[in-house]
């Protein structure tokens, strides 16, 4: 039933939600400042791509508070952190998804800011330039309005999308694949192979940490030899690309050697249904060209002539060391991927009904430390609730203690009732300041 809608004939190849948020900044000198997409706008407009017949431009929507509050819980609350800009950015992703799902376009690209892939379930502040996870808000919206089952994310930002990993870590129907510069050399320091998904979702989180200096060659190898086969095994209804652009050789915050054409090629190989912009801070040398490349590629147009002026094929060549490292990484991954079902069975049998874990999260933008105690309810044949008991210190609003109960989108009434019962029980213990239910399937949030 999904296919019939999406097979409308004679529609533009690409729906483009271009929203540069020219009036939004974190601060005047922050990488996330007004001019970030200015030169991209100049390039797209000058190329004549915003009114090209293969491309239809859309304005973003403004995401409803419930669209956000059914996936995130804030401390002290969401209103202290989420601004109109975040609602518009998430609304931009939703607008792109709607254009695609209504069958108006063949594929969609939300070229929007502020970004979101470092934002986790609990929001105590801004981390890695992100406040809310715009892709997660979008996906919850898609799942509520359209019959979509399995979804795969491919995060092509240079930084590990630790926020997206957190959002989907316990969902076996949402595969999160990220390749990024190795966490031992770059923020946020996570994203290793052994982060393979929660007990009920082992195999649904795939991290591919690449060595600094990876170029087009290495990237495409990872894509064709590893990512594509994994996607083929997973058989998603929808592929979403978290399209960070900071693997570019000129990016000031990372150390990779990918080119604009390399990104266009990536988009071509991946054939994502929806792409959403994430990072990328070489605003003059990279973004105008990378975005032109991705837009051309997603619109099915010729991208072979996208060559950024700063490119130097000798200086930015991938070294043999890097090539060998990538080869062995791919080999290692193939082994781990083949073992995913055994690993899942083993893990589940180890934990029984309840899985508990403890985590510390740092919010770099505001210097806040969060301490989490997480509990996940495990069932033999369905996805269970996730409770996050979350405390933070050193923030502008003082000590925080909030309990967030996250009900999975697949939940039935039994699971939902158990989630409520558990949070009521916790409330009786009375340690936290707030007790909040976030219910993705119903698109609601409730304070107990």
Partner 1 sequence: MKIGIDVGGTFTDAVVLDKGHMRAFAKRRTTHGQIMDGLLAVLDAVCKDVPVEQIEKVTLSTTIVTNVVIEGKEEQTDLYVIPGPGRNVEEAFPVKPIQIPGYTDHQGRVVAYFNRKEVKALMKQEVQAGHRPAAVSAKFAIRNPSEEQALSDLAKQSGYRLVSEGTKLSGALHFPRRTVSAYFNSAVQTTFSDFVKGVQDALKARHIEAPLYMLKADGGSLPIGALTQMPVEAVFTGSAASVLGMKALGGMPTSMAVALDMGGTTTDISLWKEGQPIRARGGVTIRDYPSAVQSFQVESVGIGGESYVSLRKDGTWQVGPERRGPSMALGGESPTLGDALIVAGYADFGDKEWAWQGLTQLTVLMGTFSTNKQRVELGQAKGQKQAVITKQVDKDKVEQVAKAIIEAAVDTIQEGIRRAVTRENKRAVYTVQDIVEAHRFKPESLVGVGGTAGALAPLVAKAMHISVLTPKEAPVANAIGAALAKETVQVSLYCHTGKQELTVPELGLQESNVGIYSMAELLAKGQGYLQDLAKQMGIQENLIVEVVAKEDFPVLDGGYRECRIMNLHLQGKAGVDTYVRD
Candidate segments 52-60, 195-203, 214-222, 367-375, binder of partner 1 by CB under 8 A? 52-60
Q: Which residues in 106-119 are b (16+ Cβ under 10 Å) and which e?
A: bbbbbbbbbbbbbb
Q: Quick check: 307 binds partner 1 (CB under 8 A)? A: yes
Of 7, 8, 79, 84, the residue at the interface with partner 1 (CB under 8 A) is 84
| 26 makes contact with partner 1 (CB under 8 A) | no
* Annotated catalytic residue within 72, 86, 117, 118: 118
SS3 123: strand
Closer of 230 and 283 to partner 1 (Cβ): 283
Smallest separation (angstroms) from partner 1 to the CB of 163: 22
3-class DSSP state of 341: helix
373 among known catalytic residues: no
- Which of 443, 384, 406, 363 has the alpha carbon at shortest distance from 138? 443
According to the binding rule CB under 8 A, does residue 38 interact with partner 1? yes
Q: Contacting partner 1 (CB under 8 A), which of 185, 271, 304, 342?
A: 304
Q: Measured from the CB atom, is 24 or 196 closer to partner 1?
A: 24
> Residue 369: which H helix or E strand, with range?
strand 368-377
**Cα dihedral 24→28→31→32 (10° resolution):** -10
Rounded to the nearest 10 degrees, the angle between the axes of helix 287-298 and helix 260-270 is 30
Among residues 420, 358, 350, 47, the alpha carbon closest in space to that of 202 is found at 350
Q: Does 47 bind partner 1 (CB under 8 A)?
A: yes
Q: Smaller CB distance to partner 1: residue 31 or 172?
A: 31
Residue 316 near partner 1 by CB under 8 A: no
Upper half-sphere CA count for residue 147 (Cβ side, 13 Å) = 6
Contacts of 260 (CB under 8 A, 6+ apart): 248, 286, 289, 290, 292, 293, 306, 307, 308, 311
Tokens representing 129 are: 């330039």
Out of 12, 14, 15, 21, the only residue in the binding site for partner 1 (CB under 8 A) is: 21
Contact stretch for partner 1 (CB under 8 A) within 130-138, 146-154, 266-274, 285-293 = 285-293
Cis amide leading into 45 (omega within 30): no
Q: Report if residue 20 touches partner 1, rule: CB under 8 A.
A: yes
394 interacts with partner 1 by CB under 8 A? no
CA 362 to chain centre: 18
Check residue 419 for interaction with partner 1 (CB under 8 A): no
For position 288 contacting partner 1 by CB under 8 A, the verdict is yes
Whether 138 and 93 have beta carbons less than 8 Å apart is answered as yes
> Binding segment for partner 1 among 68-76, 287-295, 335-343, 358-366 (CB under 8 A)?
287-295
The residue within the footprint of partner 1, chosen from 3, 232, 302, 358 (CB under 8 A), is: 302
Interface segment toward partner 1; rule CB under 8 A; list 5-13, 22-30, 194-202, 406-414: 22-30
Q: How far is CA 108 from CA 12, 17, 358, in A?
A: 10, 8, 38
Kindly determine how many residues on this chain lie close enough to bind partner 1 according to the rule CB under 8 A. 46
Q: Give the separation between CA 8 and CA 105, rounded to whole angstroms.
A: 8
294 makes contact with partner 1 (CB under 8 A): no
What are the catalytic residues? 118
Q: What is the contact surface with partner 1 in residues (CB under 8 A)?
A: 18-24, 28-29, 33-35, 38-39, 41-43, 45-51, 57-60, 62, 84-85, 88, 91, 284, 288-289, 292, 296, 301-302, 304-309
């Amino acid at each position: 039933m999904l296919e019939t809608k999406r097979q409308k004939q004679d529609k533009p190849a690409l729906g483009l939600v271009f929203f540069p948020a020219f009036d939004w900044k974190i601060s005047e000198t922050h990488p996330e400042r007004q001019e970030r997409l200015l030169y991209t706008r100049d390039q797209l407009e000058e190329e004549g791509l915003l009114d090209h017949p293969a491309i239809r431009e859309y304005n973003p929507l403004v995401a409803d508070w419930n669209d956000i509050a059914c996936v995130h819980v804030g401390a002290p609350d969401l209103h202290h952190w989420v601004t109109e800009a975040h609602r518009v950015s998430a609304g931009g992703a939703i607008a792109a998804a709607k254009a695609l799902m209504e069958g108006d376009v063949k594929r969609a690209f939300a070229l929007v800011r502020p970004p979101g892939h470092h934002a986790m379930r609990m929001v105590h502040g801004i981390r890695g330039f992100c406040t809310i996870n715009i892709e997660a808000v979008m996906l919850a919206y898609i799942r509520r309005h359209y019959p979509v089952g399995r979804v795969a994310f491919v995060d092509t930002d240079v930084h590990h999308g630790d926020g997206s990993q957190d959002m989907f870590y316990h969902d076996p129907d949402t595969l999160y694949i990220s390749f990024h510069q190795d966490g031992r050399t770059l923020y946020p320091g996570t994203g290793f192979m052994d982060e393979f998904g929660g007990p009920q979702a082992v195999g649904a989180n795939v991290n591919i940490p690449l060595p600094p200096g990876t170029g087009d060659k290495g990237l495409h190898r990872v894509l064709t030899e590893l990512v594509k086969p994994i996607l083929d095994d997973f058989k998603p209804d929808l592929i979403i690309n978290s399209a960070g652009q900071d693997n570019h050789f000129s990016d000031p915050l990372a150390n990779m050697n990918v080119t604009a054409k390399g990104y266009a090629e990536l988009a071509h190989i991946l054939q994502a249904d929806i792409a959403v912009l994430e990072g990328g801070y070489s605003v003059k040398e990279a973004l105008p060209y990378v975005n032109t490349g991705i837009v051309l590629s997603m619109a099915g147009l010729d991208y072979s002539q996208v060559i950024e002026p700063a490119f130097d094929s000798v200086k930015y060549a991938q070294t043999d060391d890097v090539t060998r490292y990538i080869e062995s990484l791919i080999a290692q991954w193939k082994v781990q991927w083949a073992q995913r079902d055994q690993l899942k069975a083993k893990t589940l049998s180890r934990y029984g009904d309840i899985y508990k874990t403890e985590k510390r999260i740092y919010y770099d933008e505001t210097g806040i430390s969060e301490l989490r105690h997480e509990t996940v309810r495990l069932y033999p044949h369905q996805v269970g609730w996730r409770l996050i008991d979350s405390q933070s210190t050193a923030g502008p609003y003082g000590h925080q203690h909030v309990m967030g109960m996250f009900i999975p989108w697949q939940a039935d009434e039994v699971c939902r009732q158990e989630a409520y019962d558990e949070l009521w029980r916790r409330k009786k213990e009375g340690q936290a300041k707030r007790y909040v239910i976030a219910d993705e399937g119903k698109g609601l949030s409730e304070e107990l």
